[in-house]
Structure 1
Amino acid sequence: MSGFESLSWDDFRLIRAVAEAGTLPAAAERLGTAHSTVFRRLKGIEAALGCALFERNKARLEPTQAGAEIAALAARMGEEVDAVALRLAGREPLPSGEVRVTTNDSLLVHLLTPIFASFLAACPSVRLDIVLGNPALNLSKRDADVAIRATDNPPPNLVGRKAARIAWALYGPAEDTRGPRRWVTLGEAMSPMKVVRHVLNEAGPEGVGYRVNSVLGMAEALEAGLGVGYLPCFVADARPALRRLDAPDERFATDLWLLTHADLRQVPRVRALMDHLAEEIARARPLIEGARGRDKAGQAG
């Protein structure tokens, strides 16, 4: 029998507790045992496996790659054990634990935060860890559990659902400055986007007066009167200081996807969050898809 096959359920629980707590005393408190017992058992497990599961980083114990994999397995095993116990008791398991979500700042500020709030009110035993950034994190390596992304080409190794189609339209300040019409657009890192390429071609080398690598930064620039530019309708239509100058342009629309790894889609807390997001985003679809807004005359669009 290999060292791994000899591990008991209590061994898995101990590894998970150390990984989550970060110190042996804190893990011992979770397990209801002595610090010395946790130390002795952990050393025995590592000896049986023939590899270190944790390494010290200042005051904390950080899992090695092997430790992280076994701790993740222990967490999944714990969820399954809890779910079976609840089903045997005639009750459905309530979602609990942490879900790490990656998205971008404009989606978080203008769409997702109230949805996350209502989800946590309905599932108080779940904790959300939100990671902002435009590049998608690697869900296969568990950098995140759920990704909420604007993309027409979701990674083939992920599963999920298309929640809406994000409309983009041309906007400027609500108060017409009557000044020269200069363009505002996204920064160099986002140049591959169709909408950015269009503006650069339309404006020419001297026509872009301001670039920023953030949709929210663009919205602030347009409100400040720095020029005109394309924004997602759900961002711009929520800002009274902006007005829509033209109808949404389908060339620049992108799909909004809710994505997770295939191994996680049936985890109760992940499934509950994905279902809640899909339901609430469906309610906001008219705003996301540009059905509501202001046209040139300031009337409902």
Structure 2
Amino acid sequence: MDWDKLRVFHAVAEAGSFTHAGETLNLSQSAVSRQVSALEEALQVPLFHRHARGLMLTEQGEILFKTAREVLAKLNMAEARIIESRERPKGPLKITTTIAFGSIWLAPRLKEFLEANPDIEVSLMLTDDELDLSMREADVAIRMTTPTQSDLIQRRMMTLKYHVFAAPAYIERYGAPLGMEDLDSHRLVVFGEDVRLPVPTLNWLLEAGLKNGSKRKAFLKVNSTYAIFRAVQSGIGIGALPHYLNQEAGNLVEILPDVQGPELDMYFVYPEELRHSNRIGLFRDFLLRKVEDLAR
């Protein structure tokens, strides 16, 4: 059944005449009559008894009117909930990002977002693997690599800059390198060879300042930025880390401050089908305000 014809039928049944229904729908009396007649023809049953005093529903018309009224009531309720959700966003929001960024930077800031939006149910999924947003493994992602899927909307948030750090305990015991050549005699914490890196140069400490393609030997190899951070924090060795980690932890010493490693762009990513989601828009705007301080 055509919904437009059902809508006209419902208005006629409520008004009791084609003329009054036409005034409600802003249609002519003849247009209303044609729509109802077409619906009756499609169903092959009469829906109204037509007489001089107006219209009266037939038995079949009563059945259809009851159903149409219930459908309209549910649609009106859905419309009200949609309008309400625009005014006060609600519902689930699944966020995924890397273990380091999610643990150190994002998780502590979620308190403010959650308190301001108590009807949004946040789930934070931390993994250094990329979840499939198109399969709705998560609603949004904060990624350190440029998204390659064409059906994803991306918003560049900021650039992560890598610097060289060591813990005070390490420097007290082994001293601090004064130049890149001094790294030859220090303990370096880097990624292992089997780790999928966002850019291949993240292990640049092994090659920085060396010629002929030679490499330094790593003291410890791990599989995540968070593991490098914790290892450096504990005094195991020297590591290259994005600047936000030390801004948050505040207990590492930047060494070789004139040396800067690779840069990674951070993106806020979500599926095209969620373009008009108010929950996602609200969270995106919240993040952009927060990364302004981080980018300085």
More helix, by proportion: 2
Question: After superposition, where does 1:114-125 map in structure 2 within 5 Å?
Answer: 114-125=108-119
Unaligned runs of 5+ in 2: 4-74, 176-184
Is 1:190 the counterpart of 2:196 in the alignment?
yes
Flag the structure with larger Rg: 2
2:190 and 2:218 in contact (8 A); partners too: yes
Cα distance change on mapping 1:154 and 1:245 into 2, 3 Å: farther
The residue aligned with 1:235 is 245
Is 1:164 the counterpart of 2:158 in the alignment?
yes
Distance in 2 between the 1:130 and 1:191 partners? 22
Q: Which amino acid in 2 is paired with 1:178? A: Y
Unaligned runs of 5+ in 1: 6-76, 287-301
Partner of 1:189: helix, strand, or coil? coil
Q: CA RMSD in A?
A: 2.9
Distance in 2 between the 1:78 and 1:129 partners? 30
Cα distance change on mapping 1:80 and 1:223 into 2, 3 Å: same
The residue aligned with 1:259 is 269
User: Among residues 233, 251, 254, which one is paired with 1:223 in the alignment?
Assistant: 233
Deviation for aligned residue 1:193: 3.0
- Normalised TM-score (structure 2): 0.62
Cα distance change on mapping 1:82 and 1:136 into 2, 3 Å: farther
Cα distance change on mapping 1:102 and 1:156 into 2, 3 Å: same
Percent sequence identity over aligned pairs: 23
Deviation by residue 1:25-79 (Cα, 9 ceiling, x = unmatched): xxxxxxxxxxxxxxxxxxxxxxxxxxxxxxxxxxxxxxxxxxxxxxxxxxxx999
What count of residue pairs does the alignment treat as equivalent?
208
Deviation for aligned residue 1:282: 1.9
Question: After superposition, where does 1:69-108 map in structure 2 within 5 Å?
Answer: 81-86=79-84, 92-108=86-102
Cα distance change on mapping 1:245 and 1:262 into 2, 3 Å: same
The residue aligned with 1:199 is 205
The residue aligned with 2:69 is none
Q: Which amino acid in 2 is paired with 1:201? A: E
User: Among residues 112, 118, 131, which one is paired with 2:125 in the alignment?
Assistant: 131
Cα distance change on mapping 1:244 and 1:145 into 2, 3 Å: same
| Higher relative contact order structure (alpha carbons within 8 Å, sequence separation ≥ 6) | 2
The residue aligned with 2:103 is 109
The residue aligned with 2:223 is 213
Partner of 2:130: helix, strand, or coil? coil
Q: Which amino acid in 2 is paired with 1:146? A: V
The residue aligned with 2:186 is 181
Partner of 1:270: helix, strand, or coil? helix
Distance in 1 between the 2:215 and 2:250 partners? 31
